[in-house]
Amino acid sequence: MKKIVLAGAFVGLGLLVACQPAAQKAEAPKAEKKAEKKKLSSKEKFKIALANQDKWQKACSNPTQLVPEGIDIETFKKEMLATVKFPEGGVVGKNIARGEKLFGDPKKGGKSRRGNCYACHCGDPKIIACGNIGPSLRGYGKRGIDPKETYIRIYNSWAQNPCSVMPRLGYHGVLKPEEIADIVAYMHDPNSPLNK
Amino acid sequence: MRKRVLLTSAVLAGGAFLTAAVAQEQLPTHLKELLELGMHPGHAYVDEGREMFHTPGPNGKSCATCHGQDGAGVNGRLNLQGAYAKMPRYYKDIDRVADIDTRILACMTKYMGYDKKDKKFMKQFKKWSGPYRVPLASYVASLSNGMKIDVKLDDPQEKELYKMGEKLWYMRVGARDFSCGICHTVLAGKRIRLQGLPDPVKNKVYAHWPAYRFGSDRMWTMEDRVRSCFKAYLLYTKQWSKKDWVKKPPPFSDWVIALELYMKHAANGAIIEVPGLLR
């Protein structure tokens, strides 16, 4: 019984949606644009997603997946460095617990949707499900690396290693500057499980 | 249907501890042992597909009406034995290059009275656990078992799509700057978290697709595989967020078929052995 009522509600909704384009076409172009955005088909969406490729990604899209000949690596790095935004409170954040969660939540076996560092790196010895794509970050905070370098690496790894397989998570807005600073804090904290 | 469920749980009961206790590098041998015991959960899908193949659609025609009993053809025409070895390929009747999923959908809607505009049917068709796409694809693919993959690229549309597939393979895009080639060419042999990264091009993996995957307890066609791999890219339309995440290319789209064509052409000469069995 409930199912039928629910289905009815959906049909109603479907009609509403179906009626919208005609109504909105008559309005100002601005409103039309809005409606268009809502109505993108999955095909159009995917097309846009691919068209979002930036010129640096394009440069790296060759069979070697590295910087191709004819493109100056130092210029590439400089351009990438210029995209890095720093947080107001400095590159070492205060919320170490949040940094750990973004790096890889120990409560979820080291998973984290946005940071997901364990996909490629090992670190906290308690997290066994870790990849071997990047170097192990065990003891990272004891290596005397400038936290600013760490920040830049996470924000835009291509500022240090163009076309790297390490994603530019700050550059793409997947991680906010403050969040990256918290990850840096977690990585450089002497009490962090990475450094013990 | 019932058969499929029973068999799956029987194998899983034995398979669960394997998945948990054994490193993934060793797993294939254990899966092979299961195979030798005749315990392949994928076979239930093939059986289900065979049944569906001989079941009439809305207009009274079944696949067998045109393609013959067990796909053996009618008066020497439309024989499906060996067809999968040459797919994806160009088809004149639908004027496009089709993979197995797309070709089956075309036959059902063009020739059997199923309606593409019928949302309920389309949902059932696309569905992973539905009665049409995956079982029929598994069955039709199995009719090419023991034969060599032989994708030709004779038609201009095939050539064009192949080029598109090669380009897509290496295309870095999305909020993680990934490409198929990053994970499967550059990093092949490495481990992403605990999953080993195969090289589908060099290793001609197409020979074992469609494949039954223990991890997800279901059969996957190559469409399912390719589309799912795109999830890792974090593609987006405006700016990446959970809301604006473009997870997968649409099913039956040229993007998917182009990549399939690229990988299957690379697998030319490999002997088809389906359904495959994977972690």
Residue A2 has pLDDT above 50, yes or no: no
Residues of A in contact with B192 (CB under 8 A): 119-120, 131, 133
pLDDT at position B38 = 76
Cβ proximity of A114 and A169 under 8 Å:
yes
Same domain for B165 and B269, yes or no, is yes
Q: Using a CB–CB cutoff of 8 Å, tell me whether B196 touches chain A.
A: no
What whole-number distance in Å separates Cα of residue A107 and Cα of residue B245?
25
| Element housing B97 (H / E) | strand B96-98
Q: Using a CB–CB cutoff of 8 Å, tell me whether B191 touches chain A.
A: yes
Total domain count, chain B: 3
Same domain for B167 and B260, yes or no, is yes
Same domain for B25 and B94, yes or no, is no
Ramachandran assignment for B68, one of left (phi > 0), alpha (psi -120 to 50 degrees), beta (any other) = left
Q: Is residue B148 part of a domain?
A: no
Residue B209 has pLDDT above 90, yes or no: yes
Q: Considering the entire predicted model, what is its pTM? A: 0.89
Same domain for B117 and B191, yes or no, is no
CA distance A66 to chain B (A): 10
Q: Which domain holds residue B160?
A: 156-278
CA dihedral A57, A59, A63, A69 (to 10 degrees): -150
Q: What is the pLDDT of residues B10-63, one digit of tens each?
A: 444 333 333 322 333 444 677 777 777 878 889 999 999 999 999 999 999 999
Same domain for B32 and B53, yes or no, is no
Same domain for B31 and B126, yes or no, is no
Same domain for B95 and B120, yes or no, is yes
Q: Which residues of A125-153 are buried (b: 16+ CB within 10 A; e: fewer)?
A: eebeebbebbeebbebbeeeeebeebbbb
Same domain for B68 and B169, yes or no, is no
Q: Is residue B147 part of a domain?
A: no
Cβ A167–B175 below 8 Å, yes or no?
A: yes
Query: What's the CATH number where B55 sits?
Result: 1.10.760.10
Phi, psi of A175 (to 5 degrees): -120, 135
Query: Of A9-13, B40-44, B64-68, B271-275, which range is least confident?
Result: A9-13
Cβ A46–B250 below 8 Å, yes or no?
A: yes
Residue A95 has pLDDT above 50, yes or no: yes
- Sequence spans of domains, chain A: 2-52, 96-188
List the single best residue of A11, A39, A57, A58 to mutate versus B (max B Cβ within 10 A). A57
Residues of B in contact with A71 (CB under 8 A): none
Cβ B187–A165 below 8 Å, yes or no?
A: yes
Cβ A174–B240 below 8 Å, yes or no?
A: yes
Tell me the CATH number for domain A96-188. 1.10.760.10
CB pairs under 8 A between A and B: 103
